[in-house]
Structure 1
Amino acid sequence: MNKKTKAAGWPRRPIKERNGASFAPHYTPSLIKVNGRPVGEVRDGVFRKHVRASVHMLRRPPAWALDVESLADAERLGARVVEIVDVETGFRYRASVARIREKGFELDRGHGRQIALELEEWAVEHPKQPILPLEVWR
């Protein structure tokens, strides 16, 4: 490793490509907790939650809801996008934090203050289809 590479920090290419090793860099996500329980993580500007739609999706109106404090915590940790992964179907729902704040509505149905965004406002990725690039989200 020369002085230039060392000064630049982590190599720009994964180590695997550089020397054939099977080592991959570790990225530590920032956990988001509600009442002491982890509900998601923030990594690379994305607040990601894994949930079961049959249990967690709002029925009327059809929407995904997030705890108001968890969204605020995720924003403080640099999240610009929220991704909800339905573990039952593999579908991924994505929306920008700005869109959730703009188009979302607050509610409290016995689980604390939440902000919900109707399903039609989320970008949806089918497990076999790629999701739209980040720059096209509003």
Structure 2
Amino acid sequence: MSDDDSETGSRSLKTGRFQPGRSGNPRGRPKGTRNFSQRIVAQLSKTVSVIENGQKRRMTKGEIAARQLVDKAAKGDIHSLKLASSMVAAHEDHSLQSRIAALSEPDDDLVIEQVINRIRGTLQRNKQDPTDAPSSQTQAVKGEQGR
């Protein structure tokens, strides 16, 4: 057989379509193409008609999926319960972080860190020398004397 196998139509390694230094996809992924998570979100946000308690109602697929997940968890399905609780925890953590990020400014983090360090220093000093820190009983007695 020769290097160029004309019977099968295949190419030899020397004249193959992959050349050194050239990408297999030189133009890359087109702009605006959706990735998998974007496609899932788009599908979950589509509305469909359902019949609930004898009445026709429009709901998103995400709402339907959430109801079904919670219903299965309520019936005792351990997998559904774990999934639902992990989703709630992830959502709460994300929403808390976004609220904190929206409220804080860059200098706030530095101020908060300094306050925490002061509190830690005070606690450590009180642990090292408990006689310096006034006890709650001493303060109560002094408060009564001032009356």
TM bucket normalised to smaller: under 0.3
Q: Which has the larger radius of gyration?
A: 2
| Higher RCO by CA contacts (8 Å cutoff, separation 6 or greater) | 1
Q: Which has the higher helix share?
A: 2
Q: TM-score when scaled to structure 1?
A: 0.21
What TM-score, normalized by structure 2, do the two folds share? 0.20
* Structure with more strand by fraction: 1
